[in-house]
Amino acid sequence: MMEMTYRDAIREALREEMTRDERVMIMGEEVGVWGGSYAVTQGLMKEFGEKRVKDTPIAEGIIVGAGIGAAMGGLRPVCELMTINFGLLAADMLINHAAKLHYMFAGQIKVPLVVRSVGGGGRQLAATHSQSLEVLFAYVPGMKVVMPSTPYDAKGMLKAAIRDDNPVLFIEHSLLYPIKGDVPEGDYTVPLGVSDIKREGADVTIVAYSRMVHVALEAADRLATEGISAEVIDLRTLRPLDIQPLIESFKKTNHAIIVEEDWRTYGIGAEIACQVYEQAFDYLDAPIVRCAGLEVPMPYAKNLEALAIPGVGDVVRAAKELVG
Protein backbone atom coordinates (compact mmCIF):
# COMPACT_ATOMS: atom_id res chain seq x y z
CA MET A 1 0.00 0.00 0.00
CA MET A 2 1.01 3.56 -0.75
CA GLU A 3 -0.55 6.80 0.31
CA MET A 4 -1.62 8.76 -2.71
CA THR A 5 -3.97 11.59 -3.64
CA TYR A 6 -7.18 11.04 -5.56
CA ARG A 7 -5.65 13.04 -8.41
CA ASP A 8 -2.49 10.93 -8.52
CA ALA A 9 -4.49 7.72 -8.27
CA ILE A 10 -6.46 8.67 -11.36
CA ARG A 11 -3.30 9.60 -13.21
CA GLU A 12 -1.71 6.29 -12.22
CA ALA A 13 -4.71 4.42 -13.56
CA LEU A 14 -4.38 6.25 -16.87
CA ARG A 15 -0.64 5.67 -17.03
CA GLU A 16 -0.89 1.98 -16.22
CA GLU A 17 -3.71 1.36 -18.69
CA MET A 18 -1.88 3.25 -21.43
CA THR A 19 1.21 1.18 -20.75
CA ARG A 20 -0.77 -2.05 -20.71
CA ASP A 21 -2.85 -1.38 -23.82
CA GLU A 22 -1.73 0.54 -26.93
CA ARG A 23 -5.33 1.25 -27.82
CA VAL A 24 -5.90 3.45 -24.78
CA MET A 25 -5.56 7.13 -25.67
CA ILE A 26 -6.62 10.41 -24.13
CA MET A 27 -8.26 13.41 -25.73
CA GLY A 28 -9.80 16.59 -24.45
CA GLU A 29 -9.31 20.28 -23.86
CA GLU A 30 -5.95 21.12 -22.28
CA VAL A 31 -5.13 17.50 -21.44
CA GLY A 32 -1.70 17.63 -23.07
CA VAL A 33 0.56 20.67 -23.02
CA TRP A 34 -1.31 22.28 -20.13
CA GLY A 35 -1.42 19.01 -18.21
CA GLY A 36 -5.17 18.96 -17.57
CA SER A 37 -7.29 21.75 -16.08
CA TYR A 38 -7.14 19.89 -12.78
CA ALA A 39 -3.62 18.56 -13.42
CA VAL A 40 -4.85 14.99 -13.66
CA THR A 41 -3.13 14.25 -16.98
CA GLN A 42 0.08 16.10 -16.10
CA GLY A 43 3.13 14.58 -17.74
CA LEU A 44 1.23 12.06 -19.83
CA MET A 45 1.76 13.82 -23.16
CA LYS A 46 5.47 13.91 -22.47
CA GLU A 47 5.47 10.24 -21.57
CA PHE A 48 3.19 8.88 -24.30
CA GLY A 49 3.49 11.43 -27.09
CA GLU A 50 1.00 13.52 -29.03
CA LYS A 51 -0.52 10.57 -30.79
CA ARG A 52 -1.85 9.13 -27.55
CA VAL A 53 -2.57 12.32 -25.65
CA LYS A 54 -4.44 14.72 -27.86
CA ASP A 55 -5.33 18.31 -27.16
CA THR A 56 -8.62 19.12 -28.85
CA PRO A 57 -10.38 22.32 -29.83
CA ILE A 58 -13.05 23.60 -27.41
CA ALA A 59 -15.77 21.53 -28.98
CA GLU A 60 -17.40 19.09 -26.59
CA GLY A 61 -19.65 17.53 -29.22
CA ILE A 62 -16.76 16.33 -31.33
CA ILE A 63 -14.60 15.41 -28.34
CA VAL A 64 -17.15 12.83 -27.29
CA GLY A 65 -18.32 12.15 -30.85
CA ALA A 66 -14.82 11.37 -32.05
CA GLY A 67 -14.34 9.35 -28.89
CA ILE A 68 -17.37 7.23 -29.70
CA GLY A 69 -16.27 6.76 -33.31
CA ALA A 70 -12.73 5.89 -32.25
CA ALA A 71 -14.11 3.40 -29.73
CA MET A 72 -16.26 1.84 -32.45
CA GLY A 73 -13.18 1.57 -34.63
CA GLY A 74 -11.12 -0.36 -32.08
CA LEU A 75 -9.54 2.20 -29.74
CA ARG A 76 -10.26 2.60 -26.05
CA PRO A 77 -10.40 6.37 -25.74
CA VAL A 78 -10.57 8.27 -22.48
CA CYS A 79 -12.15 11.64 -23.26
CA GLU A 80 -11.96 14.43 -20.75
CA LEU A 81 -14.75 16.97 -20.45
CA MET A 82 -13.36 19.88 -18.47
CA THR A 83 -16.45 19.87 -16.26
CA ILE A 84 -19.80 18.13 -16.42
CA ASN A 85 -21.45 21.51 -17.01
CA PHE A 86 -19.78 21.66 -20.42
CA GLY A 87 -20.68 18.01 -20.80
CA LEU A 88 -24.19 19.23 -21.59
CA LEU A 89 -22.84 20.20 -25.01
CA ALA A 90 -22.01 16.54 -25.46
CA ALA A 91 -25.19 15.22 -23.85
CA ASP A 92 -26.61 14.25 -27.24
CA MET A 93 -23.47 12.28 -27.99
CA LEU A 94 -23.68 10.44 -24.68
CA ILE A 95 -27.43 9.92 -24.51
CA ASN A 96 -28.49 9.63 -28.15
CA HIS A 97 -25.37 7.91 -29.39
CA ALA A 98 -22.99 6.24 -26.90
CA ALA A 99 -25.76 4.71 -24.81
CA LYS A 100 -27.81 3.53 -27.78
CA LEU A 101 -25.55 1.95 -30.34
CA HIS A 102 -24.97 -1.48 -28.86
CA TYR A 103 -28.69 -2.05 -28.37
CA MET A 104 -29.98 -0.35 -31.51
CA PHE A 105 -27.53 -2.24 -33.71
CA ALA A 106 -28.16 -5.54 -31.90
CA GLY A 107 -24.67 -5.94 -30.52
CA GLN A 108 -22.81 -5.23 -33.77
CA ILE A 109 -21.30 -2.02 -32.46
CA LYS A 110 -19.49 -1.65 -29.14
CA VAL A 111 -18.53 1.66 -27.57
CA PRO A 112 -15.70 1.04 -25.09
CA LEU A 113 -15.42 4.71 -24.22
CA VAL A 114 -14.62 6.42 -20.95
CA VAL A 115 -15.61 10.04 -20.49
CA ARG A 116 -13.95 11.60 -17.47
CA SER A 117 -15.38 14.76 -16.06
CA VAL A 118 -15.67 16.83 -12.92
CA GLY A 119 -18.91 17.55 -11.11
CA GLY A 120 -20.11 19.26 -7.96
CA GLY A 121 -19.64 22.59 -6.27
CA GLY A 122 -17.81 24.10 -3.35
CA ARG A 123 -15.26 26.30 -5.10
CA GLN A 124 -17.31 29.46 -5.57
CA LEU A 125 -17.67 28.93 -9.29
CA ALA A 126 -21.34 29.95 -9.27
CA ALA A 127 -24.32 28.67 -11.20
CA THR A 128 -22.89 27.42 -14.49
CA HIS A 129 -19.78 25.72 -13.08
CA SER A 130 -20.97 23.95 -9.93
CA GLN A 131 -23.65 21.52 -10.96
CA SER A 132 -24.18 17.89 -10.06
CA LEU A 133 -25.75 16.56 -13.25
CA GLU A 134 -25.07 12.86 -12.78
CA VAL A 135 -28.74 12.01 -12.61
CA LEU A 136 -29.26 13.13 -16.21
CA PHE A 137 -26.87 10.47 -17.41
CA ALA A 138 -27.59 7.81 -14.79
CA TYR A 139 -31.19 7.99 -16.01
CA VAL A 140 -30.22 6.42 -19.33
CA PRO A 141 -30.10 2.64 -19.88
CA GLY A 142 -26.95 1.79 -21.78
CA MET A 143 -24.81 4.29 -19.84
CA LYS A 144 -22.63 3.45 -16.88
CA VAL A 145 -22.09 6.28 -14.42
CA VAL A 146 -19.30 6.02 -11.88
CA MET A 147 -18.52 8.46 -9.05
CA PRO A 148 -15.77 7.17 -6.80
CA SER A 149 -15.05 8.79 -3.43
CA THR A 150 -11.57 7.52 -2.52
CA PRO A 151 -8.19 7.24 -4.23
CA TYR A 152 -8.44 3.45 -3.96
CA ASP A 153 -11.81 3.31 -5.69
CA ALA A 154 -10.88 6.01 -8.20
CA LYS A 155 -7.88 4.09 -9.47
CA GLY A 156 -9.48 0.66 -9.46
CA MET A 157 -12.71 1.83 -11.01
CA LEU A 158 -11.06 3.90 -13.71
CA LYS A 159 -9.04 0.86 -14.74
CA ALA A 160 -12.21 -1.22 -14.75
CA ALA A 161 -13.96 1.48 -16.78
CA ILE A 162 -11.21 1.53 -19.40
CA ARG A 163 -11.45 -2.26 -19.73
CA ASP A 164 -15.24 -2.18 -19.92
CA ASP A 165 -16.80 -2.55 -23.37
CA ASN A 166 -19.51 0.00 -22.61
CA PRO A 167 -19.58 3.79 -22.44
CA VAL A 168 -18.70 4.86 -18.91
CA LEU A 169 -19.13 8.37 -17.57
CA PHE A 170 -16.57 8.76 -14.79
CA ILE A 171 -17.35 11.82 -12.70
CA GLU A 172 -14.70 13.14 -10.35
CA HIS A 173 -15.09 15.89 -7.75
CA SER A 174 -12.67 18.80 -7.70
CA LEU A 175 -12.63 18.94 -3.90
CA LEU A 176 -11.56 15.30 -3.79
CA TYR A 177 -8.39 15.73 -5.88
CA PRO A 178 -6.12 16.55 -2.91
CA ILE A 179 -7.50 13.96 -0.49
CA LYS A 180 -5.17 11.10 0.32
CA GLY A 181 -5.76 7.43 0.81
CA ASP A 182 -4.14 4.02 0.60
CA VAL A 183 -3.71 2.58 -2.85
CA PRO A 184 -2.12 -0.81 -3.52
CA GLU A 185 0.94 -0.88 -5.68
CA GLY A 186 0.51 -2.51 -9.05
CA ASP A 187 -2.51 -3.65 -10.95
CA TYR A 188 -5.96 -4.07 -9.43
CA THR A 189 -9.48 -3.18 -10.47
CA VAL A 190 -12.62 -2.35 -8.55
CA PRO A 191 -15.71 -3.66 -10.31
CA LEU A 192 -18.28 -1.20 -11.61
CA GLY A 193 -21.81 -1.58 -10.28
CA VAL A 194 -20.91 -2.70 -6.75
CA SER A 195 -21.77 -0.56 -3.72
CA ASP A 196 -19.38 -0.53 -0.80
CA ILE A 197 -19.88 -0.36 2.95
CA LYS A 198 -17.43 2.33 4.01
CA ARG A 199 -18.27 2.08 7.71
CA GLU A 200 -20.32 -0.42 9.64
CA GLY A 201 -23.00 0.62 12.07
CA ALA A 202 -26.28 -0.46 13.63
CA ASP A 203 -28.67 2.46 14.13
CA VAL A 204 -28.94 4.33 10.83
CA THR A 205 -27.85 3.76 7.24
CA ILE A 206 -26.29 6.77 5.53
CA VAL A 207 -26.11 6.44 1.76
CA ALA A 208 -23.84 8.69 -0.26
CA TYR A 209 -21.52 8.88 -3.25
CA SER A 210 -18.57 10.99 -4.39
CA ARG A 211 -17.62 13.79 -2.01
CA MET A 212 -20.72 13.29 0.10
CA VAL A 213 -19.25 9.98 1.31
CA HIS A 214 -16.70 12.01 3.25
CA VAL A 215 -19.44 14.22 4.64
CA ALA A 216 -21.29 11.08 5.71
CA LEU A 217 -18.19 9.55 7.29
CA GLU A 218 -17.45 12.68 9.26
CA ALA A 219 -21.05 12.80 10.39
CA ALA A 220 -20.79 9.16 11.46
CA ASP A 221 -17.71 10.01 13.55
CA ARG A 222 -19.58 12.76 15.32
CA LEU A 223 -22.67 10.62 15.80
CA ALA A 224 -20.53 7.91 17.37
CA THR A 225 -19.47 10.34 20.10
CA GLU A 226 -23.15 10.81 20.86
CA GLY A 227 -23.89 7.12 20.98
CA ILE A 228 -25.44 6.76 17.51
CA SER A 229 -23.91 4.07 15.33
CA ALA A 230 -24.15 4.92 11.62
CA GLU A 231 -23.44 2.62 8.70
CA VAL A 232 -22.11 4.46 5.63
CA ILE A 233 -22.72 3.01 2.21
CA ASP A 234 -20.94 4.38 -0.85
CA LEU A 235 -22.92 3.76 -4.02
CA ARG A 236 -19.79 4.26 -6.16
CA THR A 237 -21.74 3.50 -9.35
CA LEU A 238 -25.06 5.19 -10.07
CA ARG A 239 -25.86 2.98 -13.06
CA PRO A 240 -25.98 0.04 -12.90
CA LEU A 241 -27.11 0.65 -9.33
CA ASP A 242 -26.25 -1.98 -6.72
CA ILE A 243 -29.06 -1.55 -4.24
CA GLN A 244 -28.74 -4.84 -2.31
CA PRO A 245 -26.10 -3.87 0.28
CA LEU A 246 -28.22 -0.88 1.06
CA ILE A 247 -31.40 -2.91 1.46
CA GLU A 248 -29.56 -5.32 3.75
CA SER A 249 -28.23 -2.45 5.78
CA PHE A 250 -31.65 -0.87 6.01
CA LYS A 251 -33.18 -4.13 7.21
CA LYS A 252 -30.68 -3.98 10.06
CA THR A 253 -30.92 -0.28 10.97
CA ASN A 254 -34.50 0.49 9.86
CA HIS A 255 -33.50 4.10 9.23
CA ALA A 256 -31.95 5.71 6.20
CA ILE A 257 -30.50 9.07 5.26
CA ILE A 258 -29.38 9.83 1.73
CA VAL A 259 -26.72 12.48 1.33
CA GLU A 260 -26.51 13.87 -2.17
CA GLU A 261 -25.01 17.01 -3.63
CA ASP A 262 -27.50 17.11 -6.50
CA TRP A 263 -30.91 18.75 -6.28
CA ARG A 264 -33.51 16.99 -4.16
CA THR A 265 -36.42 16.89 -6.60
CA TYR A 266 -35.97 14.02 -9.09
CA GLY A 267 -32.51 13.45 -7.63
CA ILE A 268 -30.60 10.24 -6.93
CA GLY A 269 -32.06 10.15 -3.41
CA ALA A 270 -35.60 9.99 -4.74
CA GLU A 271 -34.77 6.84 -6.65
CA ILE A 272 -32.91 5.24 -3.75
CA ALA A 273 -35.75 5.97 -1.35
CA CYS A 274 -38.31 4.53 -3.72
CA GLN A 275 -36.33 1.34 -4.19
CA VAL A 276 -36.00 0.97 -0.42
CA TYR A 277 -39.75 1.46 -0.04
CA GLU A 278 -40.42 -1.12 -2.74
CA GLN A 279 -38.09 -3.74 -1.34
CA ALA A 280 -38.04 -3.18 2.41
CA PHE A 281 -41.19 -1.31 3.34
CA ASP A 282 -41.85 -3.60 6.29
CA TYR A 283 -38.55 -2.62 7.87
CA LEU A 284 -39.33 1.08 7.85
CA ASP A 285 -39.37 2.73 11.28
CA ALA A 286 -39.44 6.30 9.98
CA PRO A 287 -39.60 8.11 6.64
CA ILE A 288 -36.33 8.14 4.70
CA VAL A 289 -34.54 11.48 4.95
CA ARG A 290 -32.76 13.27 2.14
CA CYS A 291 -29.92 15.70 2.80
CA ALA A 292 -29.66 17.21 -0.66
CA GLY A 293 -28.45 20.29 -2.45
CA LEU A 294 -30.79 23.25 -2.12
CA GLU A 295 -32.90 23.83 -5.20
CA VAL A 296 -31.19 26.95 -6.46
CA PRO A 297 -28.76 27.79 -9.22
CA MET A 298 -25.54 27.73 -7.21
CA PRO A 299 -24.85 31.17 -5.70
CA TYR A 300 -21.35 32.61 -5.80
CA ALA A 301 -21.12 34.10 -2.28
CA LYS A 302 -19.16 31.83 0.04
CA ASN A 303 -21.76 31.74 2.79
CA LEU A 304 -24.66 31.08 0.42
CA GLU A 305 -22.80 28.35 -1.40
CA ALA A 306 -21.94 26.61 1.87
CA LEU A 307 -25.62 26.63 2.79
CA ALA A 308 -26.63 25.20 -0.57
CA ILE A 309 -24.45 22.09 -0.28
CA PRO A 310 -25.19 19.43 2.36
CA GLY A 311 -22.71 19.55 5.23
CA VAL A 312 -21.76 17.38 8.18
CA GLY A 313 -24.03 19.36 10.48
CA ASP A 314 -27.05 18.69 8.27
CA VAL A 315 -26.45 14.97 8.35
CA VAL A 316 -25.82 14.84 12.11
CA ARG A 317 -28.98 16.82 12.76
CA ALA A 318 -31.00 14.59 10.46
CA ALA A 319 -29.67 11.43 12.11
CA LYS A 320 -30.43 12.68 15.59
CA GLU A 321 -33.97 13.58 14.63
CA LEU A 322 -34.41 10.21 12.98
CA VAL A 323 -33.11 7.91 15.70
CA GLY A 324 -32.63 10.18 18.69
Active site residue ranges: 60, 129
Among 2, 33, 59, 202, which residue sits at the site for another protein (rule: CB under 8 A)? 59
Give dist(CA 18, CA 298) in Å, integer: 37
Q: Sort 91 into a burial class: Cβ within 10 Å, 0-12 / 13-18 / 19+.
A: middle
Contact between 61 and another protein by CB under 8 A: the answer reads: yes
| Helix %, strand %, coil % of the chain (to 5) | 40, 20, 40
Spacing of C-alpha 117 from chain mean position: 9
Residues 8-37 that bind another protein (CB under 8 A): 23, 25
Peptide bond into 191 cis (omega under 30): no
Which segment (88-96, 116-124, 127-135, 180-188) binds another protein by CB under 8 A? 88-96
Binding mask 94-113 for another protein (x = CB under 8 A): --xx---xxxxxxxxxxxx-
Among 165, 187, 295, 321, which residue sits at the site for another protein (rule: CB under 8 A)? 165
Among 80, 134, 164, 231, which residue sits at the site for another protein (rule: CB under 8 A)? 164
Maximal CA-CA distance, the chain: 59
Give dist(CA 29, CA 23) in Å, integer: 20
Nearest distance in Å: CB 68, another protein: 5
Inter-axis angle of helices 211-225 and 312-323, nearest 10 = 50
Among 32, 142, 181, 293, which residue sits at the site for another protein (rule: CB under 8 A)? 142
Report the residue number, 111 or 309, with the smaller CB distance to another protein.
111
Report the residue number, 109 or 175, with the smaller CB distance to another protein.
109
Nearest distance in Å: CB 23, another protein: 8
Whether the Cβ atoms of residue 268 and residue 209 lie closer than 8 Å to each other: yes
Reported as type and span, the H/E element at residue 29 is none
Beta-bridge mates of residue 180: 5
Contact between 76 and another protein by CB under 8 A: the answer reads: yes
Which segment (1-9, 60-68, 287-295, 306-314) binds another protein by CB under 8 A? 60-68
Picking from 241, 242, 248, 271, the residue whose alpha carbon sits closest to that of residue 258 is 271
Angle at 210 between CA 204 and CA 211, to 5 degrees: 85
Which segment (41-49, 160-168, 198-206, 314-322) binds another protein by CB under 8 A? 160-168
Among 51, 225, 281, 302, which residue sits at the site for another protein (rule: CB under 8 A)? 51
Q: What does the binding site for another protein look like in residue numbers (CB under 8 A)? A: 23, 25, 51, 54, 56-57, 59, 61-62, 64-76, 92-93, 96-97, 101-112, 141-142, 144, 163-166
